[in-house]
A = this chain, B = another copy of it.
Amino acid sequence: MAHVRIQAHPFDAGAEIAALTQGRRDVGAVATFVGVVRDRNEGASVGRMTLEHYPGMTEKALLEICGQAAQRWDLIDLRVVHRVGPMEPGEPIVLVAVSSAHRGDAFAACEFVMDFLKTRAPFWKREDTPSGPRWVDARVSDDEAAARWAPPNR
């Protein structure tokens, strides 16, 4: 059911949302999240950033997260598009879009997928700062965001 894509080039959020309703008459709600590169992180000024991933495992991890969301809520379809490589501040990094008959399911599943993507999908961020490039550390707040969804399932 879910559609997962890793790509270097920017995505068109409107086209991804449209793909979820195209030719369908049962979708009532599409909740979408777009993550964007900020010029400031943990207090430091940030320029370009670069995302690394683990080809093969990353796609598998994203599909697993989507599968968990589909088991938990009443969904029609899910899409995850994640960019890798160099990106400038203001550019989109990730899109998660979820369609459902009802908005409550779409919102919850979209936020769930983002929270788990942040803590379970193999991506690593390197930022260019005035004092040179640095790898971004995992954030406790992201672990907490993922933890609130459930008793851990592993």
Of A22-30, A55-63, A119-127, which stretch is located at the interface?
A22-30
What is the count of identical protomers in the complex? Answer: 2
Q: Which of A86-109 contact B (CB under 8 A)?
A: 89-90, 92, 101, 103-104, 106-107
**B36 to A34, Cβ gap below 8 A?**
no
Is A15 an interface residue when CB atoms closer than 8 A count as contact?
yes
- In the complex, chain B residues whose CB is within 8 Å of the CB of A35: 28-29, 103
| Nearest B residue (CB) for A39 | B25
**B14 to A38, Cβ gap below 8 A?**
no
| Nearest B residue (CB) for A114 | B103
- In the complex, chain B residues whose CB is within 8 Å of the CB of A114: 103, 107
- In the complex, chain B residues whose CB is within 8 Å of the CB of A25: 37-40, 89-90
Is A146 an interface residue when CB atoms closer than 8 A count as contact?
no
Q: Is the interface of A mostly helix, strand, loop or mixed?
A: mixed
**B28 to A36, Cβ gap below 8 A?**
yes
Q: Which of A36-53 contact B (CB under 8 A)?
A: 36-40
**A17 to B30, Cβ gap below 8 A?**
no
The answer for the CA separation of A38 and B28 in the assembled complex, in Å, is 5
Given contacts A21-B90, A32-B33, contact A38 B13 (CB under 8 A): no
- In the complex, chain B residues whose CB is within 8 Å of the CB of A107: 33, 107, 110-111, 114
Interface residues of chain A, those whose CB is within 8 Å of chain B, are 12-15, 17-18, 21-40, 89-90, 92, 101, 103-104, 106-107, 110-111, 114, 145
